[in-house]
Structure 1
Amino acid sequence: MRFYELWIGLRYTRAKRRNHFISFITGTAIMGMVIGVAALIAVMAVMNGFDHTLRSRILAVTSDVIIQGNGVPVLDWPTAVKRLSTVPGVTGVAPYVQAQAMLSHEGLVSGAVIEGIDPALENRVNKLNQDMKMGELQSLQTHPWSIVLGRALARQLGVTVGDKITLISPQGGVTPLGVTPALRQFTVVGLFSVGIYAYDSGMAYINLGDAQRLYGLNQGVTGLRMQIKDPFTAPAFAAHLQQQLGAAFYIQDWTQTHENFFKALSMEKLVMFVILSLIIAVAAFNIVATLVMVVTDKETDIAILRTIGVTPRSIMLIFMVQGGIIGLFGTLLGVFFGVLLALNIPTLVPAIEHLFHVQFISPEVYSISQLPSKLEPWDVIHVAIAALIMSWIATLYPSWRASRVAPAEALRYE
């Protein structure tokens, strides 16, 4: 491109229009681009925040790798814990017992997943001890028949630390009247909250020995939890371990345990990107309308340029410069406001909720109670590139139309 094409294109962009409607359409195109780019960056940051927050909170209460027997309890688990602890990359191994039960307190009943754990070993495989809001996880080891509840579950049952609740297990005894459920009274010694409603309202922890006696496992356990140095290598680690242990054990990593959830989240992020990209596409159509009107307004100028030897290609480049400047200006402003909005979402949303007395994120529906945001530089780059490409494509037809203006026809009545 020669410099005069760039100079004329810039002149057309900043010159005052005789037609104020064209200026209005230009401003609309820029504002549409700004809104589209900013909204897309902010939404992508929120989706990244959801993904990052949920991964962190899920990993706080689940382990990187889980080993279970194929339909049977794991019996010689102390030996397995010692052997697995020496595997390179493993930072912790802990046994657990998992079952379902009903919890009851003064007429209030709620279902829950009961996990029997060894508090001394559990700290090696998750961060549950850091999420304790009342009491300590170690109390399960010192107090027989004690239980730690999720805070939302405790609220449903109307209990707090020190209260007693009844655990009703379906694995009961056999009587002449049939199978009767087992009932046992537990003392609440702690409350935890990981920030995910499904866990806070449906999980309870008891001592490993109490769980073995309650569910008739003798010395067996449901399985073993493992923590490794890099959680993102868990799929490869689990596959390698499965080959070594064989078909007698069933091994899952944390990505398999919540595979459908994270796939749905990834798909939702992709769909939101496509939908919000349509806002940028609409702004690009405004650029088309703007340039078409500018070409009509500048037909005399185009004809004069053609008569002094300017080629159709150069005419096309002049208007591509003008449309490109509109797209570039709108994209840069959109990136600025989008990044500013994304970085301040955790502050702005609570302020708006407090001001209007509303709650945008229900923990019962979205698993978390606050709108998270995590700005990824590559997302910003991808959005900006997509906006610039759409803007450039939008300049092609009007620029081609400008290059087809016939000088004789345009100057006939001048």
Structure 2
Amino acid sequence: MILSRYERVIAKRYLLPGKGEGFIFLVAGISLAAVALGVAALIIVMSVMNGFRAELFDKIVGLNGHAVVQGYEGRLSNWQQIAAAARKSPGVTSALPLIDQPLMASANGRVEGVLVHAMRFEDIVHNKTIASHIKSGSLANLRPGSNTVAIGSRLAEAIGAFPGSQISLISPEGRSTPIGTVPRIVSYTVGATFEVGVYDYDNSYVVMPLEEAQNLLMMGDQVGMVEIQTTDPDKVDQFLAPLQDVVRGHGQIVDWRQMNSALFQALEVERIAMFVVLSLIVLVAVFNILSSLIMLVRAKTRDIAILRTMGASRRGLIRIFMTVGVTIGVLGIALGIILGAVFLFFRQGVVDAIQALTGQNLWDPTVRILTDLPSKTDPIEVTVIIVTALVLSFLATLYPAFKAASTDPVQVLRYE
């Protein structure tokens, strides 16, 4: 929208408060602030929702893969054949043997339910989800035959364990006696503690070498499952289709969507719902722009009539008032982007400050799953938010602008 020099001067004049127009300026300022808050709220909430999903996906996939081949009754005897066939499938980057077994852990007179997560030593060391979140100790201590394990930080706090201390793992698969099966209890040294940022993992995971878990559970050379990573998690079904014949009769293939379908579906529904609800804030702000422009047109009726008698065209008046409204929207959007960026940058500090002031735990990891407030800003979503706010601001200027252009100077000036 190209404005002539006089149109730019008038539009600038109407954006600033004139004598007796303080209330109109106040309404316009409120409109600008409302647009800014609406845009900031949308950017913040969508970024947090995206970050929540991305963090969960990275942590879950980092420990469980894009898919697993689970053996019937928790045992997979021909895992070497399945792993070899999986590696030959297009799109598959790795296929690793794995044991996931719920057991009990005991230390210092305390007993907790745990999930033993056993992998080969080299796979443990190269697992970024675990290796990059070591709090104390070292994964190098977990060599086969060392009777050493790594445990989650919250589990360590719960049972009072630390690197160098002893914990006992209790397996119901023990030896048979005349009075029944006696649980198998084996002591291990804690070699490291880790905190991946997912409460359930930090509170229950015990990572140990595959050979140690096979001895503890008396599985021989068997494993519980084969963990599979692919180049594209959204195409995991296509990549693993050739593996169905090899797996049939020995186990089943379960991908990341099936393992966590309820969680990710709930996140997607909540994400869409939050976008729709928060968009109403922008819509309300746009109505404020509409009302402030209508008030401005009513206050400037005499000026409009004079401009018309001096040769101002109807299109020129439309451009002037549309420029005023769109400028308010653009300034509000820019301020909203800045507010959103600042909040996201200091998001954890803001949450901690509010918790300190209110005494309430706003981000309880036992409920929120993740330890810290995540964030991941999607440029495409931000663009959609900006375009939506711009379009709504533009539409809000149409009625006041055409109302101003339809002013009859003869009728107005007759009574002046």
State whether TM-score is above 0.5: yes
- Are the counterparts in 1 of residues 169 and 186 from structure 2 also a CA contact under 8 Å? yes
What one-letter code is carried by the residue in structure 1 that aligns with 2:256?
A: W
Distance 1:161 1:167 in 2: 16
- Superimposed CA distance per residue, residues 209-267 of structure 1 (whole angstroms, 9 cap, x where no aligned partner): 34334334332211112334x35455245443444535334223334433332333333
Is the counterpart of residue 338 in structure 1 residue 357 in structure 2?
A: no
Offset of residue 383 of structure 1:
1.6
Is the partner of 2:75 in helix, strand or coil? coil
Task: Tell me the amino acid that sits aligned with residue 252 of structure 1.
Answer: V
Counterpart in the other structure of 2:70: 68
Aligned residues: 413
TM-score (norm 2): 0.84
Please report the RMSD computed on the Cα atoms of aligned residues, expressed in angstroms. Answer: 3.3
- Structure 1 residues without counterparts, runs of 5 or longer: none
2:297 paired residue number: 295
Report how far residue 176 of structure 1 moved.
Answer: 5.7
| Distance in 1, Cα, partners of 2:347 & 2:130 | 28
Matching of residue 155 in structure 1 with residue 157 in structure 2: yes
Q: Which moved more, 1:188-197 or 1:24-33?
A: 188-197
| Runs of at least 5 residues in structure 2 that lack an aligned partner in the other structure | none
Letter in 2 for 1:290: S
**1:385 corresponds to:** 387
Opposite residue 206 of structure 2, the aligned amino acid is A
Quote the Cα distance in structure 2 between the aligned partners of 1:61 and 1:335: 36
Distance 1:101 1:396 in 2: 68
Aligned to 1:194: 196
Q: Among 220, 223, 233, which residue is 1:218 paired with?
A: 220
> In 1, Cα distance between the equivalents of 2:21 and 2:27?
10
Query: In the alignment, is residue 111 of structure 1 matched against residue 113 of structure 2?
Result: yes
Please give the alpha-carbon distance, in whole angstroms, between the structure 2 residues aligned to 1:193 and 1:199.
Answer: 8
Contact 1:6–1:321 at 8 Å: present in 2 too? no
TM-score of the aligned structures, taking structure 1 as reference length: 0.85
Distance 2:57 2:80 in 1: 30
Structure 1 residues 66 and 273, CA gap change in structure 2 (3 angstroms): same
User: How far did 1:303 drift?
Assistant: 3.4
Match of 2:241 in 1: 240
**46-55 or 386-395, larger mean C-alpha shift:** 46-55
Quickly say closer, same or farther: Cα 1:231–1:140, change in 2 above 3 A.
farther
**8 Å Cα contact 2:289-2:328 kept in structure 1:** yes
Distance 1:232 1:78, change over 3 A: closer
Return 386-395 or 182-191, whichever deviates more.
182-191
- Write the distance in 1 (CA, Å) between the matches of 2:92 and 2:138: 26
| Aligned residue number for residue 286 of structure 2 | 284
Instruction: For residue 372 of structure 1, give the secondary structure of its aligned residue in structure 2.
Output: coil
Which residues of 2 match residues 41-56 of structure 1 at below 5 A? 41-56=43-58
1:41-190 map, 5 Å: 41-71=43-73, 73-85=75-87, 87=89, 89-123=91-125, 127-143=129-145, 145-172=147-174, 181-190=183-192
SS of 2:139's equivalent in the other structure is coil
Q: CA deviation at 1:297?
A: 0.9
Query: Which residues in structure 2 correspond to 1:354-373 (within 5 Å)?
Result: 360-373=362-375
**Deviations along 1:126-177, whole A, 9 cap, x unmatched?**
6423333333435443445443221111111112223333323334455565
Does the CA-based 8 Å contact 1:303-1:405 persist in structure 2? yes
CA–CA separation in structure 1 for the residues paired with 2:384 and 2:153: 41
Q: Is the Cα contact below 8 Å between 2:144 and 2:212 reproduced in 1?
A: no
Identity rate of aligned residues, in percent?
A: 33
- What is the alpha-carbon distance in structure 2 between the residues aligned to residue 311 and residue 351 of structure 1? 56
Q: In the aligned structure 1, how far is the partner of 2:159 from the partner of 2:359?
A: 27
2:210 paired residue among 208, 232, 236: 208
Cα deviation, 1:317-338, whole Å, max 9, x if unaligned, reads 4322221222122222322333
State the shift of 1:72 in Å: 5.9
Question: Does structure 2 retain, via aligned residues, the 8 Å contact 1:238–1:252?
Answer: no
Q: Residue 397 of structure 1 corresponds to which residue in structure 2? A: 399
- Counterpart CA distance in 2 for 1:221 and 1:2 is 71
Q: Tell me, in whole angstroms, the C-alpha distance in 1 between the residues paired with 2:138 and 2:238.
A: 32
Separation in structure 2 between the aligned mates of residue 372 and residue 46 of structure 1, nearest angstrom: 6
Aligned AA for 2:113? G
CA shift for structure 1 position 406: 4.4
Q: Which whole-Å CA distance do the structure 2 matches of 1:99 and 1:72 have between them?
A: 8
Alpha-carbon shift at residue 122 of structure 1 (Å): 4.0
Using the TM superposition, name which of 57-66 and 404-413 deviates more: 404-413
Structure 1 residue 99: Cα displacement: 1.7
Alpha carbons of 1:59 and 1:123: their partners in 2 closer, same or farther (altered >3 Å)?
farther
